[in-house]
Structure 1
Amino acid sequence: MTAEFTHVDDEGDAQMVDIGEKADSKRRAVARGEIRLSEATLDAIDDDEVAKGDVLTTARIGAVQAVKHTWETIPMCHQIPITNVETDFELVDGAVECTVAVETVGKTGCEMEALEGVTTGLNVVWDMVKASEKDDDGQYPTAAIEDVRVVEKTKSAPGE
């Protein structure tokens, strides 16, 4: 592993990496994370009884929007052509698990887009249910966004 920093120029200033000479590749990245919630909140999500509305549909829309706007929020991230976004939300083991898969054909990867989709999707879930997670002391003892990570990253020549 080299200690070369690609987002820093010779003077130590931040810079966007030049990808102009790179060949286009078909790329895919998948990220996953979860938000731990109380059983009562999970039941309300499952039964579509959350006061603010359909939690998982709203979170899915938020995740896709975040993927499309990643370049606007991550300073050195390139604007890339998104060719596909898949979102999946599941109620599992005391949590809502979010998985976002992003595909592109271009000169740079799409893992930042997948991560942005997951974190925003989970933040939307939080926004939709936070009132039901508050205890009598105004605290949120159960709710926690956890384990956000890239679980897959692939690259191949276009058409493969």
Structure 2
Amino acid sequence: MTERFTQYIPHENAMCAFGKQLINAICRLPSRQNVTLYLNGDLGAGKTTLSRGMIQGLGYSGNVKSPTYTLVEEYAIGEKIIYHFDLYRLADPEELEFMGIRDYFADNTICLIEWAEKGADLLSPPDLLVNIGYAENARNIELVAQSTMGQQIIQQLT
């Protein structure tokens, strides 16, 4: 049975707060292996806002912007490295090979990937699908575990 978790998010601050809750659940796990999240949702659904909540939830105080034009932003926070990818403008999945995509999925990293479907088969499979949908002026988030690690993250949230 696939482990699932849903959360109603009434506003932007709640999205950031949920991001902090999610990153804390990830960091409570004893494993130092890579954790990969695919962030799914339409334009403006809140993928970058969730990422900002996660990154700032680890103590990062700088600006967290969408890596739409750079493809990836790196945040080294304590012992963790978070890579925030936005593949929306990716013209060809082969571009990921040129940037050494496989190197990003190392131990003790967290990869947050927006528009993962544009990366074809070059990305590490997700531990967790994070589906963000509109609910009028609010959002609904559904987490779907894709691995044992994903199941453990969801169990930390419940």
Q: Normalized against structure 1, the TM-score is what?
A: 0.27
Give the structure with higher Rg (CA).
1
